[in-house]
Amino acid sequence: MTIQVITVPDLGGADAVDVIEVCVAPGDVVEVEQSLVVLETDKASMEIPSTHAGTIVSVKVNEGDSISEGSALVELEIEAAEQAAPAADIPEPVVEAPSAAAPAASEPAAAASAEQTVTVPDVGTDEDVDVIEICVAVGDTVSEGDSLIVLETDKASIEIPAPAGGKVLSLSVNEGDKIASGAAIAVLLVEGSAPAPESSAPVAQAEAPAAPQPKAAAPAAPAAIATPSNESTAESDDGAYAGPAVRKLARQMGVDLSKVKGGGPRGRLTKDDIRAYVTKAVDLATSGKVTGGSGIPAIPAVDFAKFGDVELVKMTKIQKITANNMSRNWLNVPHVTQFDDADITELETFRKGMKAEAEKRGVKLTPLPFLLKACAAALRYEPAFNVSMHSDGEHIVKKDYVNIGIAVATPAGLMVPVIRDVDKKGLWELAEESNAMAKKARDGKLMPMDMQGGCFSISSLGAMGGTGFTPIVNAPEVAILGVSKADIKPKWDGQEFQPRNMLPLCLSYDHRAINGADAGNFMTFLVSAIGDIRRLLL
């Protein structure tokens, strides 16, 4: 018994190659040529086979590692007989970049520019393969290594790169054609240097050993050929039809391939599809648009001027931030809105009785400070409302302070200054502070800190009218109280209708954090506290 360390073989010059799959674990019994790991460059994925049969003692790499030639992959315990197997029998991986197709020594030196016919190299099968994509057009200038066409066998798609930089003079294939190794693809006008050999030239190398099989490519040979990069495009677990290079880009950009629509032939995903998806997502996140992305159909642009006079008004910064926040909150928070009416007949009698004193103090006593006080008590009574969802998606943050934001309409847009420790303040203090905050907001003097740290918000449209609305939760808060215009309504007292001053309340909440029963309790408490403000003393 001997321990053999199996290392990364010659990768044809590629270094820092990603490990995308580890196929074995300690204790596994492996055969010669059984895949140990799958590596991926930006052009190809390759399986590294075991050079011996034996039992895996330890695995030296993890998925996501970046490794180079010579890096240890596994320790293998091998039988004595196995040790005799010459390592040279084990084929070396060859993954050559397209540029590796150097001209054969026997080829004549080139003129300054020369025409070169590019042909299909040995793709490892004698059968015709499908041309699934033409990546260039006549007249295009290509660089060495740029993909000219993409072929597809039943197991893999293969990009055929330009063997040299130049201009595409003609193309001899069309999408949908079936072609075999040796068929002409295009004629290039190669400028400035000796033309590289036609891509069919390196076929002689097919006799070279070809161990690391391109993943999902049936024949072993193509990896040894200098030109094609082999992409596994067979559908994998995520159902996406994409090659390794596209998968790598998607991983780097954090894109879930199953969410991207393939724009290539037969729905094959291309790098452009990934980039377009990311661009759209970023645009959505930064613009505040609720259109496009996330599968939401975009609202088409309309030329309104066709229908009459229009004026284009630039949105203020606050309007843009508000738009963004509203979209974000509307799309992220599953809202429920509950409605009720609070009887504020007694409250209004009391408030009006305090008007003279309010004037003396220089404050305006509206229903708002009463609502602040009642909401603070309700948040203490029903602490499920005084929480935030933690951004890790695993926790709820419970708060032991009661800060309440008030929505203030200002000429620049909607602002929500926060009144701190509302539960510890009296009515006069709350009236003064809400008056001052509203003024500060309208004067454009709020500091960022004035608008942070809220636990709950109140949006009062009572001065404007309306019988109810559905306010949008100001996340990361989990609830908001909308207040509409109080009005005298008939209220049945058991014997007859009484004219009562009823205040419509609309409570929107985040149903991820708050259940309907909590909301029912909160609203019932609130309505009774507003209905009899002596309860706030309890």
Indicate which residues carry an active-site annotation. 511
Q: Of the two residues 221 and 505, which places its CB atom closer to ligand COA in the complex?
A: 505
Establish if 480 lies at the interface with ligand COA (CB under 6 A).
no
Establish if 189 lies at the interface with ligand COA (CB under 6 A).
no
Please state, as a whole number, how many other Cβ atoms lie within 10 Å of the Cβ of residue 286: 10
The residue with its CB nearest to ligand COA is 462
- Least separation in angstroms between residue 283's CB and ligand COA is 25
Stretch binding ligand COA (CB under 6 A), from 276-284, 307-315, 402-410, 491-499: 402-410
CA dihedral 2→6→10→15, nearest 10 degrees, is: -150
Establish if 328 lies at the interface with ligand COA (CB under 6 A).
no
- Whether residue 101 contacts residue 201, with contact meaning beta carbons closer than 8 Å, is answered with yes
* Per-residue binder mask for ligand COA (CB under 6 A), 354-393, x = binder: ------------xxx-------------------------
What is the chain's alpha carbon radius of gyration, rounded to the nearest angstrom?
A: 36
- What is the rounded CA–CA span in Å between residue 112 and residue 300? 52
- What is the rounded CA–CA span in Å between residue 342 and residue 531? 6
Establish if 459 lies at the interface with ligand COA (CB under 6 A).
yes
In eight-state DSSP terms, residue 211 is -
Stretch binding ligand COA (CB under 6 A), from 4-12, 42-50, 118-126, 479-487: 479-487
Q: Of residues 461, 473, 513, 529, which one binds ligand COA by CB under 6 A?
A: 461
Q: Which of 380, 325, 334 is nearest to 514 (CA)?
A: 334
Q: Of the two residues 202 and 462, which places its CB atom closer to ligand COA in the complex?
A: 462
Q: Of the two residues 136 and 419, which places its CB atom closer to ligand COA in the complex?
A: 419
Establish if 321 lies at the interface with ligand COA (CB under 6 A).
no
- What is the rounded CA–CA span in Å between residue 529 and residue 76? 75
Establish if 479 lies at the interface with ligand COA (CB under 6 A).
no
Stretch binding ligand COA (CB under 6 A), from 85-93, 184-192, 286-294, 478-486: 478-486
Q: Which three-class secondary structure string do you get for 96-150?
A: CCHHHCCCCCCCCCCCCEEEEEEECCCCCCCCCEEEEEECCCCCCEECCCCEEEE
- What is the rounded CA–CA span in Å between residue 17 and residue 15? 5
Q: Of residues 160, 168, 406, 526, which one binds ligand COA by CB under 6 A?
A: 406
- What is the rounded CA–CA span in Å between residue 318 and residue 448? 12
- What is the rounded CA–CA span in Å between residue 208 and residue 6? 21
Establish if 135 lies at the interface with ligand COA (CB under 6 A).
no
- What is the rounded CA–CA span in Å between residue 400 and residue 387? 9
What are the backbone angles phi and psi of residue 401, rounded to the nearest 5°?
Answer: -140, 160
Q: Of residues 90, 142, 173, 408, which one binds ligand COA by CB under 6 A?
A: 408
Q: Of the two residues 138 and 488, which places its CB atom closer to ligand COA in the complex?
A: 488
In eight-state DSSP terms, residue 411 is T
Q: Of residues 333, 347, 374, 503, which one binds ligand COA by CB under 6 A?
A: 503
Q: Of residues 180, 305, 315, 463, which one binds ligand COA by CB under 6 A?
A: 463
Establish if 405 lies at the interface with ligand COA (CB under 6 A).
no
Cβ neighbours of residue 85 closer than 8 Å, sequence gap 6 or more: 32, 51, 52
- Least separation in angstroms between residue 408's CB and ligand COA is 4
- Which helix (DSSP H) or strand (DSSP E) does residue 419 occupy? strand 418-419
Site for ligand COA, residues 152 to 181, rule: CB under 6 A: none
Stretch binding ligand COA (CB under 6 A), from 81-89, 375-383, 456-464, 511-519: 456-464
Establish if 508 lies at the interface with ligand COA (CB under 6 A).
no
Binding site for ligand COA (CB under 6 A): 366-368, 406-409, 414, 438, 459-463, 483, 485-486, 503
